[in-house]
Chains A and B, each alone.
Chain A
Amino acid sequence: MNIIELKNITKVYDMGAAQQVAALQGVDLVIGKNEYVAIMGPSGSGKSTLMNIIGCLDTPTSGQYLFNGVNVSEMDDNNLARIRNKEIGFVFQTFNLLARSDSLHNVELPLIYAGISSTERKERARRTLEHVGLGDRGHHKPNELSGGQRQRVAVARALVTNPSIILADEPTGNLDSRTGEEIMGLFEDLHSQGNTIILVTHEAEIAEHAHRVVRVRDGKVESDDVIPEAKRKRYAVKRAS
């Protein structure tokens, strides 16, 4: 069963005055359940644009996007919001946490939009924070946390709704390599629990965790390779358990 099927997807930004930027120029990509895909490519090649389309944050200019076999371009705002809420967990390079809310509230937020009761929300947020190793940081605001801790809060927020896919756009871009490895360890766990993971990175070391590497250049898929088992990198740093 394919979760994501992109057929000849293009994305053109109108800059006015007859100036256009073609960020994606016909992307075909199929991603199945429980895959672990790294998207790589030079800066400006369209990786983030592609991720935003996959994550239903953005809509393609043309082409067809089937999510779990359903045509996304025919969905209205309510359905797209529901997919972003329930099916997709997004992790951003810049964390994108609510600055004025503490970790617990940040993690709780997707559950509010999912219409889950307050007591269950609090309990699930607490458990998920514990799961990423931040059980004791529930009442800290983002500016009271380190970069790695912030990204772990963001991962917890992505996980809390039990989404089928985790999308991560350069999740380690703002972290040192050690902290980056810790985050990759979380993704590895998630993958082994059956989640589908798609992450954008330009660091070869990070990409080595994945089972498949898609290279993008000038808005097109340049190569799409499966990494043999032997070459895969395993999570190296011992997690504090």
Chain B
Amino acid sequence: MYFWNEVKEGLIIAFRAIRTNKVRSVLTTLGIVIGIVSVTLMATAIEGVNRAFDKSAAAFGPDVMYIEKWPWVSNEDWSTFRNRPDLKVEYADRIERQATLLNAVAPVMNTRRSLKYADKQMEMALITGTTASYISASGNSEIDGRFFSEEEATGGRPVCVIGAVVAENLFPTEDPIGKTIRVAGFPYTVLGVFEKQGGLFGQFTSDTRVFIPIHSFQSNFGGRRYVMVQVRASSMSVLEDAKIEVEGIMRSLRKAQPGMPSDFSINQQELLTQTFGPISLVISAIGLFITSLSLFVGGIGIMNIMFVSVTERTKEIGIRKAIGAKRRTILLQFLVEAAALCLIGGIIGLMFAFPLSLIVDKVLPTAMPISVVFIAIAISLTVGVVSGFLPAYRAAKMDPVEALRYE
């Protein structure tokens, strides 16, 4: 109770002092304002990068496994993987027949070719040959129109499903469905358009890809290519078991002896988040550290002005002590003043940072995390208390007689 009385009195004194020295207070607070703006914007940008990363990682599907010759991430020498045998398209069928924990299995082959529709062109688009199972074997399934059917795929029909960016480029004004595009000269009729995914790993998302039946792919673009088998667990809960099952089936297909290492890799989204998570954490920490330097400079400004304020008010301190203010009371008074200055700076900083974060949002989809607001307020209070401490301590330990004599 007594403590809050002192804080309240400290606040009244602080606001009176701030009002009498308006220009000085504004200039000092500016340091904190800039500090808070840069720290909160940095936090907002980091949030944006994290969101983009999460979104991109989500495009791989959390329950999808990619069986490949190469691992996505590895600490080992790449030459150990080079001698592995290539995967075959037939593996997909074999896995599908034996597996019990999988939702779908689809072989995937890729190449880069140019696209053409009327006078529109697109160079080096990613062409993917796969089966009808792809749609249930991948994480992304939102389609305007439809994916190709089993019959169309095995019959090698010249049909395709295109990504959102491909659709934007080739059909800026028309509805692509039913139109025939040319993939390196071969005609393919568009059955559907994938919804836009965005994200950082653009080429892995459906956005810039054209999906065609795998038989058509093999006959038009050749069959001796890198093959990947994409499988999807029937649910997240059986993901680990499904992985063990797939590994077992693959090893038996490859006739691997027990104890021998597998000569293929099972890649997952998790690998990416595990690898890039810590990296993005380090980058975030460095970014926040650098921007918080500006806050530190702001804190030094506060400390400086508090020293000036204490010296100017020596006589006042003497009077207060003479009529019964304790050291602690004087300390608290100046701490409250420094904290109030910083808090005002922090709040003004947030008021600037919020509209700026909306601009950042235009470039990198993000939102100022609500926690940042509280953290910024806590930080500005802390900066105030820390940088106000030395000046306040000097005021508190002043000798009352000498302070009263000060002119």
Residues of chain B within 8 A (CB-CB) of A78 are 326-328
Q: Does B120 contact A (CB under 8 A)?
A: no
Interface residue count for A (Cβ, 8 Å)?
25
Contact partner of A96 (CB less than 8 A), chosen from B2, B319, B329, is B319
B406 to chain A, nearest CB (A): 11
Q: CB within 8 Å of A: which of B349-407?
A: 399-401, 404
Q: Does B73 contact A (CB under 8 A)?
A: no
Q: Give the total number of A-B pairs whose CB atoms are below 8 A apart.
A: 61
Residues of chain B within 8 A (CB-CB) of A109 are 320, 323
Of A57, A81, A92, A97, most buried by chain B (CB within 10 Å of CB) is A81
Residues of chain B within 8 A (CB-CB) of A85 are 323-324
A195 to chain B, nearest CB (A): 17
Give CA–CA (A82, B2) in the complex, Å: 14
Q: CB within 8 Å of A: which of B279-338?
A: 315-316, 318-329
Q: Does A126 contact B (CB under 8 A)?
A: no
Q: Looking across the interface, which residue of chain B has its beta carbon closest to that of A100?
A: B16
Q: Looking across the interface, which residue of chain B has its beta carbon closest to that of A83?
A: B324
Q: Does B75 contact A (CB under 8 A)?
A: no
Residues of chain A within 8 A (CB-CB) of B329 are 81, 113
Q: Does A157 contact B (CB under 8 A)?
A: yes
Give CA–CA (A190, B326) in the complex, Å: 27
Asked if B324 and A114 make an inter-chain contact with CB atoms under 8 angstroms apart, the answer reads yes
Asked if B323 and A157 make an inter-chain contact with CB atoms under 8 angstroms apart, the answer reads yes
Asked if A92 and B324 make an inter-chain contact with CB atoms under 8 angstroms apart, the answer reads no
Residues of chain A within 8 A (CB-CB) of B324 are 81-82, 84-86, 110, 113-114, 161
> Can you list 22 contacts pairing A with B, beta carbon distance less than 8 Å?
A55-B322, A57-B404, A58-B401, A77-B327, A78-B327, A78-B328, A81-B326, A82-B324, A84-B321, A84-B322, A85-B323, A85-B324, A90-B322, A96-B319, A96-B322, A97-B319, A98-B316, A98-B319, A112-B9, A113-B324, A115-B1, A115-B5
Would you list the 4 A-B pairs with minimal beta carbon distance, nearest first?
A: A85-B324, A113-B324, A81-B326, A110-B323
Give B contacts to A, CB under 8 Å: 1-2, 5, 9, 16, 20, 315-316, 318-329, 399-401, 404
